[in-house]
Each structure stands twice: as C-alpha cells, then as structure tokens.
Amino acid sequence: MRAVLQRVSRASVTVDGRITGEIGAGLLILICAMDGDTDTQAGAMAAKIAKLRIFKDAAGKMNLSTKDMGGAALIVSQFTLAADLRGNRPGFSTAAKPDEGKRLYEQFTARMQAEGIPTANGIFGADMQVSLTNDGPVTIWLDL
C-alpha cells in the first residue's frame, strides 16, 4: 500500500456538493492499494500510521501520535498514487483493481478505527474535492 499523510488542523472531502467527511486536527491520509496488496499490508499500514509521532508535544517537538493528541483521520482513496511516470501520460496499471482496492480501502479504515483513531472518509471512486489546512506543513510519503 502507498499513502501520503498530511498533518492538518482541519480537512474535509466533498462529493457532488455534499461534505462526506471532515475532521479537525489530525491526519489527511491519501491511500492507494497496489496490485498484489493484502489485508496484511492494510493492517501494517494502519498500525504504522497510528503510531507515527508527528504531532508536537508541549515542548514543540514532533513526539505525539494521532491518538496521543486526540486527533482523527480523514481517509481518501487515491489511485493516482500508483502513477507510472515513465512517459508524459501517467499509467495506473500498478494500482489494485477497483473491487480489491475498495475492499482494502475499507479494511484500512477499519484497522485505523481498531487502533483507536476516529475516522471520516471520502467515497471510493468518486470525483472528490479535498480541502485542508496543512499544519507545519508536514507531509509524509509512506510505501509498505
């Protein structure tokens, strides 16, 4: 699985003019299931992200996890993270097929919830508008 994490003070996702998910402080997680990924990768990705200490403690150091600071996660499917950029037009053949990608996206969300992180979501496969206020900015790429 592949993810881009953005530490945010707020984030929301809108589909057809309706907000489908929003959070205050926490993480915006753009997530892509890759061809061949399994439930094991979804679980490992959720466990890693839940434990990442990328929020400031009282001394201003990145030392707190999302759970430690009482944050949430807005999880948005993002198949374009699988882009093959060898040419001028990206290819996405390394992304999981839609049915499997959706299943793993839902599995990842469930595993984040099991880690004690409140979640909100976009709609898998929809044309979404994502709004965020990046905190820091802190943006991290994760590939498992």
pLDDT band of residue 99 (cuts 50, 70, 90) is very high
pLDDT of residue 78: 95
Alpha-carbon distance of 43 to 73, in angstroms, equals 15
Q: How many domains does the chain have?
A: 1
What is the rounded average pLDDT of the residues 130-142?
Answer: 97
Q: What is the overall mean pLDDT for the chain? A: 96
Domain-embedded: residue 143: no
Domain-embedded: residue 13: yes
Domain-embedded: residue 17: yes
Give the range of the structural domain holding residue 91, as residue numbers without chain letter: 2-138
Domain-embedded: residue 144: no
pLDDT band of residue 115 (cuts 50, 70, 90) is very high
- pLDDT over 90 at 87, yes or no: no
What's 30's domain CATH number? 3.50.80.10
Please give the positions annotated as active site. Answer: 78-80
Q: Would residue 136 be called left, alpha or beta, if left means φ above 0 and alpha means ψ between -120 and 50 degrees? A: left
pLDDT of residue 31: 98
What is the rounded average pLDDT of the residues 129-140?
Answer: 97
Alpha-carbon distance of 95 to 16, in angstroms, equals 25
Domain-embedded: residue 130: yes
Domain-embedded: residue 41: yes
